[in-house]
Structure 1
Amino acid sequence: MNTNAFALRHIGPNEEDKKQMLDTIGVASLEQLISETLPDDIRLKKELNLDAPMTEHEYLLHIHDLSKKNKAYKTYIGLGYHPTILPAVIQRNILENPGWYTAYTPYQAEIAQGRLEALLNFQTMVTDLTGMEIANASLLDESTAAAEAMGLLFAVRDRSQKKNNINKFFVSENILPQTLSVLQTRATPIGVELVIGKEDRFDFSSDFFGALLQYPGKNGQITDIKTFISKGITANIKVAVAADILSLVKLESPGKFGAHVVVGTTQRFGIPMGYGGPHAAFFATKEAYKRDLPGRIIGVTKDMDGKRALRMALQTREQHIKRDKATSNICTAQVLLAVMAGTYAVYHGPKGLQFIADKIHNKTSELAKAIAKLGFNQVNTSFFDTLQIKTDSKKIKRIAKEKKVNLRYPDKETVTISINETTGIRDINYLITVFAEAAGKDTITLNSIAEHHNIPESLQRHSKFLSMEVFNSHHSETGLMRYIKSLERKDLSLNQSMISLGSCTMKLNAAAEMMPLSWFKWGNIHPFAPNKQAQGYLTVLKALEDQLSEITGFAATSLQPNSGAQGEYAGLMVIKAYHESRNEAHRNICLIPASAHGTNPASAVMAGMKVVVTKSTDEGNIDVEDLREKAILHKENLSCIMVTYPSTHGVYESAIKEITKIIHDNGGQVYMDGANMNAQVGLTNPGSIGADVCHLNLHKTFAIPHGGGGPGVGPICVAKQLAPFLPGNPVKKTGGQKAITAISAAPFGSALACLISYGYIKMLGTEGLTECTRTAILNANYIKTRLQGSFETLYSGERGRAAHEMIVDCRPFKAHGIEVSDIAKRLIDYGFHAPTVSFPVAGTLMIEPTESENKAEIDRFCDALISIKKEIDRTSLDAPNNVLKNAPHTMSMLTADEWHFPYSRETAAFPLDYLKDNKFWPTVRRVNDAYGDRNLMCTCAPIEAYMEA
């Protein structure tokens, strides 16, 4: 046994396991199983051309050597990204803890109370600092959050504005350049006209429905948003504010002035820059707009015993329910980063945040005084942390470069400096030497920092914030460590048991892949730093692009989209640009199979396309004749099809090449949703099947952890004709020769997280990656065979095989009074997270084991489901007080003096023997979703407020 081989550590079943599993399935070899599963005409003719696999030790040496190519200069560039101090207690206990980073989106609330509480803290922090009524549990980055704000304000226009087609949106010229670029991408497809100008010259015309301000502005000047918002309200123009969250400790909250939406990033709350991400954005608004609020909302409700519980609120407004009627396609958030940022606020509390903000402002003010004494013209009359100096920027740039200092140079006559949490008095004195040298004068040395107030009285913060107990209780490391652990114990993650969510691919996130994320020279690089300082990153990102292009069979890749749904949108916008380049801008029809993910139709509508749904056959496949009929019907205007392969039903459809040919014959492009790429790598690929673009979920197939619901990364890979249109960035050159405007804020999206997938591919190589796919298919078909007789598979391939996942039918159990949700909750008692519930077919479970789970764990999971089936057989409609309807069972139930159930405590808690050795206890009983929506509460208010609600 080659114990150096990473594949041996990543892939669950050993050779003996595989032999036994193949015997159970009834095939002689793994190759026979694969040949009975995949259509012959889509199999790759040759192996992938990737580097030989590295051992974990070799890889860690390799990635460490590459990190040395990154030059971590002192950085004062700003533009929404700042060096930070991540408290070690948060780094060690959250970022580096698989109990936090391997958790899934909290759809099963009973086993997610810990991260739900952490997200409630995040929402409370955001609503307090912004002065708004409701916030979501994070978005992807500040720029895309601003675009969502524009979309929300467009959606909530009043009746007369909609009737008169009022579609102009004012954007202050003080906005961050990357935000403007994302707004330009998003505006046109949904029918919004952007007007960019100076805030003090805006005439508040009735032609406008909304406006967006930056607070403070991109160059540091704090403008009078109070007056602007007041005038906007008078003119029936709703105002969104993109705010620096740390500045809101000293600046009065935009909500206090009447703002309708406040967005921004929480990167300043201890999150490494990571060459652009991942970072948790925030979005706060008025409760009146809650039905249009994008992203997830965490709310307070109660469980079956009336005990306080948390869950995701108002889910019916999300894209997986509303589909093409959704106002946003957001699926992934940035949960892990939101948890870290919220915990940063818990650790420091209001007084600690005040200390940090004061320290930054006072040092900025002292620097401004010193620069002025040296004869320079600092033009910002009001500022928090950023100075704007009018001078010969070329001269300053030369000196700063020699001194290994990164400043920002907006033009030939301007230099900006953004001070941050890490800036000490020595750093301020060093900055002064740059300007002293440029002025040809002796430097000025500061020995102390005085208190300053370079913020107008009318904009200074007077309202209190973070007064809740949680933000005033855990300021010692011991206290915070125990608080974090108390939350972690409430959650079920991959370090506890298998998470078999179909379409979500909860595979191993190997420690060797994760370790570099904590390293200083990967975390501390600004996304707009000069390329010479980011050679380590540029080497890794270029290599990952090449790896993904090879795996998908395409010509080029963009890593910019930082979620799967954003990848969908990016792919569609690239297709749109391609058609426009051929003078075929009228092509706007997007065909989408009925079984598609909910993000597909939502993304298509956001891209300005019209959705036409195609039928499925009784076997669950795409109805080819219906597809052909609709493609021909819309031939003149056909833009594309969005198709998932293998299908969402877990089948390799044999007609896929015919389907792609029909689209091409009728002038369209083929967008392939890469959600199920885990079943393609090394065996087939989108390019060979006939697709033109696909997005990849790096948080699925390529081992980035789900982090409780994010970070995700959704790069797009494209065929040669689409490569020129890959998205660019206004600050740093990236993308194709005819690049569309930005899809997300950073040039390479969540670059830090991309290290994980780079390592995954580097350590597996061609053979390892292919064996992962083969093993995922083996594990799925083994589960399918083991469950036969208890749970029947709804759809299978032509030879009776599943792909890497399958849908099992739970609808027959309604005859016993049992719903699929009862099975999901009872699985918690067996120590398992439920598979995907009621998607894509209501009343079913979609199961995906991945390649990382070994036979013993898969058997334990199958034993649990088979045991539950026996429990179902013993229930009836006449006996609703049963072990499934009461699931999950908590420790407090089991240890109570009284027991009022017609089954034993042992049956409730220990239905199988393995549970006596390793029992996971949920902390709440089944939550009441409807109560939580009727009594919406989305902050960690005191218990009295909850009881009153």
Structure 2
Amino acid sequence: MTANRISLAALERGTPFARRHIGPDDEAQAKMLAQVGFGSLDELTQVAVPDVIKNTEALRLPEARTEAEVLAELRGLADRNQVFSSMIGLGYHGTHTPPVILRNVMENPAWYTAYTPYQPEISQGRLEALLNFQTVVADLTGLPTSGASLLDEGTAAAEAMALSRRVGKVKDGVFLVDADCLPQTIAVIRTRAEPTGVEVVVADLTDGIPAEVAERGVFGVLLQYPGASGAVRDPRALIERAHELGAVVTVAADLLALTLLTPPGELGADIAVGSSQRFGVPMGFGGPHAGFMAVREAYARNLPGRLVGVSVDADGDKAYRLALQTREQHIRREKATSNICTAQVLLAVMAGMYAVYHGPEGLAEIARRTHRYAAVLAAGLRAGGVEVVHDAFFDTVTARVPGRAAEVVAAARERGVNLRLTDADHVGVSCDETTGRAELAAVWAAFGVADGLPGVDELDSATDDALPSGLLRTGTYLTHPVFHQHRSETAMLRYLRRLADRDYALDRGMIPLGSCTMKLNATTEMEPVTWPEFGGLHPFAPAEQAEGYLTLIRELSERLAEVTGYDTVSLQPNAGSQGELAGLLAVRAYHRANGDEQRTVCLIPSSAHGTNAASAVMAGMKVVVVKTGEDGEVDTADLHAKIDKHRDELAVLMVTYPSTHGVFEEHISEICAAVHEAGGQVYVDGANLNALVGLAGPGKFGGDVSHLNLHKTFCIPHGGGGPGVGPVAVRAHLAPYLPNHPLQPAAGPETGVGPVSAAPWGSAGILPISWAYVRLMGAEGLKRATQVAVLSANYIAKRLEPHYPVLYTGPGGLVAHECIIDLRPLTKATGVTVDDVAKRLIDYGFHAPTMSFPVAGTLMIEPTESEDLAELDRFCDTMIAIRQEIEKVGSGEWDPADNPLRNAPHTAASVTGAWDHGYSREVAAFPAGVRAADKYWPPVRRIDGAFGDRNLVCSCPPLEDYEG
């Protein structure tokens, strides 16, 4: 009996988390290795990964901990945060997330593990939810076309600046910003403007546009409504004057205030931007939140970012999809007008559902309550002899206390309330949905006016509203039935479930998207995100109240630096595209500091991600394309020629590693050395880092800077197309030029390039996910995850190779963590396209791999380490079965224009209605391996994207269409 005894110490350690995270167990790995032709993971990666880049030492990371231990550590960090009542304002406000939305959207893997809706037939739920969001923004701003969300308010304003320059009549001139705009927005605009040669002028526009500015020419104007100070001013005359000068006018607006105030569109604005955070999304120490942009009709086709539109499917039924996708930087590259490659879908869904749940009456009631608290607060201050600066305001009161501002703020802090220290003489106080009588009492006491004040009810009855009568909203909004049908929790719960059931996410099955790394987002990693100690903190709260957060941020930064081989990491960029921009701005600043202003050329391989070129242009660089060889690797001869040609102007080479073609290039160190020899820097795009963690670090094999995708490699979920986090990692010589922030000195170096995101640490609210992942896995777990990812990709490549050509391989005939199969010969022979295969995969219960990137007519497959062998085999069996179906088309057994591939996907309605096809209903709906009990039914048939682009509709359609 004692022979099988297991020690208590071993039992106490529990099951290592890596076993939960990595899908194939030891037995499955052995089978997969045998298929690929290796005896162990180490043997496989010894051959697959070039010796020149391999780590020589193990990662120096803390030992892996169990899930219970990591949750306990995170609880300890959370307890070090102090969540005071936040009355700081500045675009971040307390809000109550309806529990039905918290549980069934934010905490629901059906919503947070979905991918961007590039396969719209299986994304109808989230597309409808995004259409709701767009309708909310369009209705409240009074502008007809709204996008599906941007990254935050600051970057949305910067995008508006770029849009104004692009579409306006004035091609030179300045961008004029009112001094009462949010300070972080002004800072982001300055960061974005400088590299592209735009001059930003910040001025007090209370009395109109200064004559000396008007004389210089103005291409765009940005106003805040209400202002950062709280002031509500009528901007109509200012907007009219700006239009006389040929300027495009952007109004940064508060959505909640717009339920009571005249919308920007009615005031004459051309563009409206802002944040939807206070619509039920926690502050999260700065994010993630869904920024928004709405434009007048003339600018709809120039709108940056993603746009959901209404189209029709093959049966003529209404269906949703992303509209005007040819605008995206993936296609336009260096001609792109923005580098935005994502959205904030999960947060936009939450904000839209907040409006669905409350409806227009409920939103207006929340706004009125918020305003009444502000009005009563101001009345109490005035009664106590404190000067309130503005007579007209919505939720924010600015008080003048000469020489006492710091004292008042400190006194409020002692009472558990954070106020805004504007300057030595002024204090800002913002009310929100969570403000109560206790907060009013604490604020009055901090100002020293509590004694002798009338009661709250007495002040309330004696105090008028502080909204100017000439700016009160008169029209209706949110009239669509969706904003009136789901007021009970039962109705809301069922609506959310109905939409989720229309979608395909990781909770249904594998999403084998190449370059997108759809892997397990473990529940343990996700759980702390909704803890109030992480969710309830304002990004500009005093640092001593955020000790737990700042410790987590520091530790995650240090561990990411160790993983990548770099020296310093900034977590501020809130998307991969923003990380690219931050890294390139650091390179630019480094060259300029060395007196090399002429170094502006950015070399980019033709196969690179589209964001690379777009980001380079935004960083003020000139893109020079380097050829890609037939083997998928950088054409080294062309690279050396371009280096020689641009030697004195060379700023940086941007290269993805492993390559965009899914192979480990053997010459990467030589490439890096050649660029360095010419005085340039090397940017290693971190999109494919999932093939490197624990095996190689880009900072050690030649990279100077990389952005990482925490929403890929480090388990932050994609959320249907956002949130993302794109930290930038650099070697020491670039560290002085990382992003910083004017309101949080600890967020970056004093010599930094300025903020690239509105919040100091970007989407800090989801950083606990990646912190937990690294802590749970440890060095050995991270390495094994990478090895299994490489194994899984090679297993699929070997199984599919007899049926489809595998386009590119590296050392030993192996791929990295993804493989590309070539459908072009089959298309040429049979007419079956890559789209046909992608849509037929839906009938089999799969999300398609990445289509036609980086090579048209191909599928790029990335299985990740989290899919077990049964799911990998299910996918391979499906692809083999589809290959046999293609053969039936090629042999003439099935009509080229009428076959299951060309007509895919098949809905329940299509296979139960009239049937006149040359194949059976069973073949359509239940192909090989699909069990009726497990069938996923797509809600619509193949969508006609061109129809929707010709007939652009981007808000909720009429009820009869909606129900259909």
TM-score by length of 2: 0.96
Match of 1:899 among 880, 890, 915: 915
Superimposed CA distance per residue, residues 707-755 of structure 1 (whole angstroms, 9 cap, x where no aligned partner): 0000000000100100111111011112124111111000000001111
Tell me which residue corresponds to 1:940.
956
Report if the CA contact (8 A) 1:171-1:197 is conserved.
Answer: yes
Tell me which residue corresponds to 2:289.
279
Cα 1:688–1:401 change in 2 (3 A) is same
Tell me which residue corresponds to 2:725.
713
Q: CA deviation at 1:170?
A: 0.4
- Tell me whether 938-947 or 22-31 shows the greater mean CA deviation: 938-947
Tell me which residue corresponds to 1:875.
889
Superimposed CA distance per residue, residues 410-460 of structure 1 (whole angstroms, 9 cap, x where no aligned partner): 10000010000001233223322222xx25843443136447431222211
Q: CA deviation at 1:79?
A: 0.5
Tell me which residue corresponds to 1:755.
768
In 1, distance between residues paired with 2:954 and 2:451?
56
Q: CA deviation at 1:465?
A: 0.7
For residues 42-441 of structure 1, what are the structure 2 equivalents within 5 Å?
A: 42-158=53-169, 161-162=170-171, 166-199=172-205, 200-202=207-209, 203=211, 204-205=214-215, 207-391=217-401, 392-435=404-447, 438-439=448-449, 441=451
Cα 1:113–1:945 change in 2 (3 A) is closer
Q: CA deviation at 1:201?
A: 4.2
Superimposed CA distance per residue, residues 658-713 of structure 1 (whole angstroms, 9 cap, x where no aligned partner): 00011100010001100000000000011111000000000000000000000000
Report if the CA contact (8 A) 2:417-2:439 is conserved.
Answer: no
- Tell me whether 455-464 or 618-627 shows the greater mean CA deviation: 455-464
2:519 alignment partner AA: K
For residues 631-642 of structure 1, what are the structure 2 equivalents within 5 Å?
A: 631-642=643-654
| Matched position secondary structure for 2:682 | strand
Tell me which residue corresponds to 1:693.
705
1:693 alignment partner AA: V
1:910 alignment partner AA: F
Tell me which residue corresponds to 1:445.
455
In 1, distance between residues paired with 2:851 and 2:143?
34
Superimposed CA distance per residue, residues 577-634 of structure 1 (whole angstroms, 9 cap, x where no aligned partner): 1111111111100000000000000000011100000001111100111101111111
| Matched position secondary structure for 2:252 | strand
Q: CA deviation at 1:251?
A: 1.0
In 1, distance between residues paired with 2:905 and 2:349?
26
1:875 alignment partner AA: V
Report if the CA contact (8 A) 2:308-2:323 is conserved.
Answer: yes
In 2, distance between residues paired with 1:630 and 1:688?
25
Q: CA deviation at 1:129?
A: 0.3
In 1, distance between residues paired with 2:359 and 2:750?
48
Tell me which residue corresponds to 2:927.
911
In 1, distance between residues paired with 2:449 and 2:425?
15
In 2, distance between residues paired with 1:145 and 1:903?
50
Match of 2:754 among 733, 741, 749: 741
Q: Does 1:559 align with 2:565?
A: no
Superimposed CA distance per residue, residues 478-503 of structure 1 (whole angstroms, 9 cap, x where no aligned partner): 01000000000000000000000000
In 2, distance between residues paired with 1:255 and 1:359?
25
Match of 1:886 among 882, 903, 907: 903
Report if the CA contact (8 A) 1:704-1:757 is conserved.
Answer: yes
Superimposed CA distance per residue, residues 294-328 of structure 1 (whole angstroms, 9 cap, x where no aligned partner): 11000000000000000000000110111110110
Superimposed CA distance per residue, residues 830-867 of structure 1 (whole angstroms, 9 cap, x where no aligned partner): 00000000000000000000000010000000001000
Tell me which residue corresponds to 1:568.
580
2:661 alignment partner AA: H
Q: Does 1:772 align with 2:785?
A: yes
In 1, distance between residues paired with 2:464 and 2:708?
49
Report if the CA contact (8 A) 2:312-2:318 is conserved.
Answer: yes
For residues 525-674 of structure 1, what are the structure 2 equivalents within 5 Å?
A: 525-674=537-686
In 2, distance between residues paired with 1:945 and 1:53?
53
Unaligned runs of 5+ in 1: none
Q: CA deviation at 1:817?
A: 1.1
Q: CA deviation at 1:895?
A: 1.9
In 2, distance between residues paired with 1:285 and 1:78?
26
2:901 alignment partner AA: L
2:137 alignment partner AA: V
Report if the CA contact (8 A) 2:395-2:432 is conserved.
Answer: yes
In 2, distance between residues paired with 1:3 and 1:502?
34
Report if the CA contact (8 A) 1:215-1:244 is conserved.
Answer: yes
Q: CA deviation at 1:287?
A: 2.1
Q: CA deviation at 1:233?
A: 1.8
Unaligned runs of 5+ in 2: 1-10
1:195 alignment partner AA: V
| Matched position secondary structure for 1:874 | helix
When the two chains are superposed, the root-mean-square deviation of aligned CA atoms in Å is 1.5
In 1, distance between residues paired with 2:14 and 2:442?
51
Report if the CA contact (8 A) 1:429-1:444 is conserved.
Answer: no
Percent identity of paired positions between Structure 1 and Structure 2: 52
2:424 alignment partner AA: K
In 2, distance between residues paired with 1:84 and 1:452?
25
Q: Does 1:467 align with 2:483?
A: no
Match of 1:855 among 864, 869, 888: 869
| Matched position secondary structure for 2:490 | helix
Superimposed CA distance per residue, residues 161-181 of structure 1 (whole angstroms, 9 cap, x where no aligned partner): 33xxx2311000011111111
Q: Does 1:841 align with 2:852?
A: no
Superimposed CA distance per residue, residues 875-905 of structure 1 (whole angstroms, 9 cap, x where no aligned partner): 0475310010000000111222x21111111
Report if the CA contact (8 A) 1:167-1:191 is conserved.
Answer: no
| Matched position secondary structure for 1:110 | helix
Cα 1:194–1:737 change in 2 (3 A) is closer
In 2, distance between residues paired with 1:362 and 1:925?
50
In 1, distance between residues paired with 2:637 and 2:320?
47
Tell me which residue corresponds to 1:781.
794
In 1, distance between residues paired with 2:603 and 2:768?
35
TM-score by length of 1: 0.98
Q: Does 1:818 align with 2:824?
A: no
Q: Does 1:32 align with 2:46?
A: no
Superimposed CA distance per residue, residues 361-410 of structure 1 (whole angstroms, 9 cap, x where no aligned partner): 11110111111000000011210000000002122123112112100011
Q: CA deviation at 1:566?
A: 0.7
Report if the CA contact (8 A) 2:157-2:185 is conserved.
Answer: yes
1:852 alignment partner AA: S
Report if the CA contact (8 A) 1:505-1:848 is conserved.
Answer: yes
Cα 1:473–1:943 change in 2 (3 A) is closer
| Matched position secondary structure for 2:457 | coil
Tell me which residue corresponds to 1:7.
18
1:832 alignment partner AA: F
